[in-house]
Amino acid sequence: MKRLFTILTMIAVACTFVIGSATAAPAEQPVKIIVMPDHADWNYTCGEEPKFKVLVLKDNVPMGDVAIKYLIAEDNMPAREEKSITLKNGEAQIKIGTMKVPGFLRCTVYVKDCGYTYRGMATAAFEPEKIQPTVTLPEDFEKFWSEAVAANQNIPMQPTMTLMPELCNGVYNAYHIRFQSYAPGCYMYGVLTVPVKEGKYPAILKVPGAGVKPMPAYGNMPTDKAVILQLGINGIPVNMPREVYTNLDRGALRSYNRFRVDSRNDYYYKRVYLGCARAVDFLAELDCVDAEKIAVSGGSQGGALSFTTAALNPKVKCLYANYPALCDLTGYLNGRGGGWPHFFRTESDNNLKSEQIIDNLRYYDVVNFARKVSVPVKVAFGYNDTTCCPTSIFSAINVVSSPIELLIYKEIGHYTYPELERDHGNWILEQFSK
């Protein structure tokens, strides 16, 4: 397997007492906690014992003899060690122990100041390229999904495109789109932008992160060089007032990722996976799209959907995923971190620990779609991500057999930088210029 590791090592660790969003880096805080591994690449061999230097700054000056609490834990697992110590001149060295098997060991440091609690962390990687998934591939996995896709093809798409003048500008025209998928009367919605200049363009399907929300701004996507479809996955229009989505997210569609998980055929994500695959067909039929140049891209849930879409629709020619979710969902049943939405992590999920549900989830686990991907892949993520933990991500990327690139900003958690957003579009356009 050909792999290109692009390693961007950032020494300063993001410190915040409120976790950052999945799209923006955390805000600057007056107290900064720097947790610094003694290996610049944060990578260790199994059995090696890392030493982490801790530095606490306020107004960029060491805080002196400050009290800290630190926790040592394997990736997203309960702490194996918890201690409180006092730093000397704002510094200390912590021995975090080791791992005998491939995985991640995280040191999380907390400091209290002026009534606020601040957090910093760093995560040591132990031979992550050797991490193997806990989830297994069902014998009828391909049959299940090929039959589902074929049945979906028999449902008329009935696409509509409605101009959205308020979003149009001199670069692109914008449309609210709808097409039928999964069942008669069941629709997928999104916002499509088409460059003003006539021609055939590459197309990028942007699949969303988790939650119920209107379409976000296009940010750094190449709207002048590609047709871009930002897809909603909840079966509702994406151009309604924001409070509608807030109410649905907190009410009727709360925890949609668990809807009908007891039914392999009716689990919520079946409609979603098929709808994303059909969105590629929608793009391929547009006169303004070069059907040989279609990509899929997204982060978190969208990173997961990038893999599933590429595996289900051969019209996808490459995929770019940020910190993909839904990877190795059975990790917690095997004593290690699993992917979002963290089935089986807490006692509240004990009702899900049935053979039927565990078996059903194998058909939706991104690891098993990653096994089937045959196009170029790029995945961006960080070692400090506790939402889509790196153990679960490596479980998926280590089974990819097509060319794959990894872009690792080790210190980031479940958020991104503008540079990463620009890299999405740039990398995709580079694939299509080869």
Catalytic residue set = 300, 385, 414
C-beta separation of 416 from 186 below 8 A: no
Structure-derived torsion over alpha carbons of residues 93, 99, 102, 107, reported in degrees to the nearest 10: -30
Helices (H), 220-300: 242-250, 268-284
| Angle, helices 268-284/141-153, rounded to nearest 10 degrees | 60
3-state secondary structure of 317: strand
Q: What is the largest CA-CA distance in the chain?
A: 70
Strand order in 377-381's β-sheet?
3-8, 404-409, 377-381, 316-322, 289-299, 201-206, 227-231, 187-195, 172-180, 160-163
* Phi, psi for 229 (deg, rounded to 5): -115, 115
What are the residues facing 51 on neighbouring strands? 95
Smallest Cα–Cα separation from 316: which of 288, 276, 286, 287? 276
What is the rounded distance in angstroms from the CA atom of residue 384 to the CA atom of residue 195?
A: 38
* Phi, psi for 140 (deg, rounded to 5): -105, 25
SS3 of the chain: helix, strand, coil, percent, to 5: 25, 30, 45
Residue 213 identity (one-letter amino acid):
K
H or E segment and range at residue 149 = helix 141-153
* Phi, psi for 5 (deg, rounded to 5): -100, 110
User: What single string gives the DSSP state of each residue in 25-46?
Assistant: PPPP-SEEEEEEESSTT-EE-T
